[in-house]
């Protein structure tokens, strides 16, 4: 009998991975996160090859305003709208941390721990996105 940590990640992953292209906008990414309830997106090219990831922390970086005084600055509607219209490419994390289908739950746990992420895309041998695993998916396996 295999331990939970030796289980293949493809037996744990979800296949309904939210994906967008780097040319899509921050606004589109936020809408997709709201629609799916999944707060991390795989950023792919036209062949669904993984090129990056996008999470709320990445999106917040787009809204940062440098301030020499460190004071709170009022954000205008125009600035807010311009941030929402920016391309995902400007905010995404690349290269993307990922797992391959052959990896194990133990491999996922190491990546979660070492990189402090909550979501890891899963790719096939051709780096095409085939699913994702969340930290909760891993913990749910431990309870079985």
Per-residue pLDDT tens for 72-125?
Answer: 667 788 988 999 999 999 999 999 999 999 999 999 999 999 998 889 999 998
Q: How far is CA 6 from CA 15, 64, 123, 131, in A?
A: 20, 41, 18, 19
Mean pLDDT of 29-55: 96
Helix, strand and coil in the chain, % to nearest 5: 40, 25, 40
pTM as predicted: 0.87
Mean pLDDT of 125-142: 88
Exposed e or buried b per residue across 15-54, where buried means at least 16 C-beta atoms within 10 angstroms of its C-beta: eebbbbebebbbebbbebbeeeebbbbbbbeeebebbbbb
Question: Could you tell me the pLDDT band of residue 143, with boundaries at 50, 70 and 90?
Answer: low
Token output for 10: 């493809």
* DSSP annotation string for 37-58: S---EEEE-TT-BEEEEE-HHH
Residue 58 contacts residue 87 (beta carbons within 8 Å): no
Question: Could you tell me the pLDDT band of residue 1, with boundaries at 50, 70 and 90?
Answer: very low
* Domains of the chain and any CATH numbers: 4-142 (3.10.580.10)
Question: Could you tell me the pLDDT band of residue 42, with boundaries at 50, 70 and 90?
Answer: very high
What's residue 41's pLDDT? 97
Q: Is the pLDDT at 46 greater than 80, yes or no? A: yes
């Amino acid at each position: 009998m295999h331990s939970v940590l030796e289980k293949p990640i493809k037996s744990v992953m979800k296949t309904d991975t939210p994906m967008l292209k780097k040319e899509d906008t921050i606004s589109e990414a936020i809408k997709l996160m709201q629609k799916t309830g999944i707060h991390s997106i795989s950023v792919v090219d036209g062949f669904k090859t993984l090129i990056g990831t996008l999470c709320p922390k990445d999106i917040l970086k787009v809204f940062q305003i440098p301030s020499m005084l460190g004071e709170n600055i009022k954000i205008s509607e125009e600035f807010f709208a311009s941030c929402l219209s920016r391309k995902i490419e400007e905010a995404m994390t690349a290269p993307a941390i990922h797992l391959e289908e052959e990896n194990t739950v133990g491999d996922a746990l190491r990546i979660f721990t070492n990189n402090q992420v909550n979501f890891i895309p899963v790719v096939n041998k051709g780096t095409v996105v085939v699913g994702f695993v969340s930290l909760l998916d891993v913990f749910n396996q431990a309870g079985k």
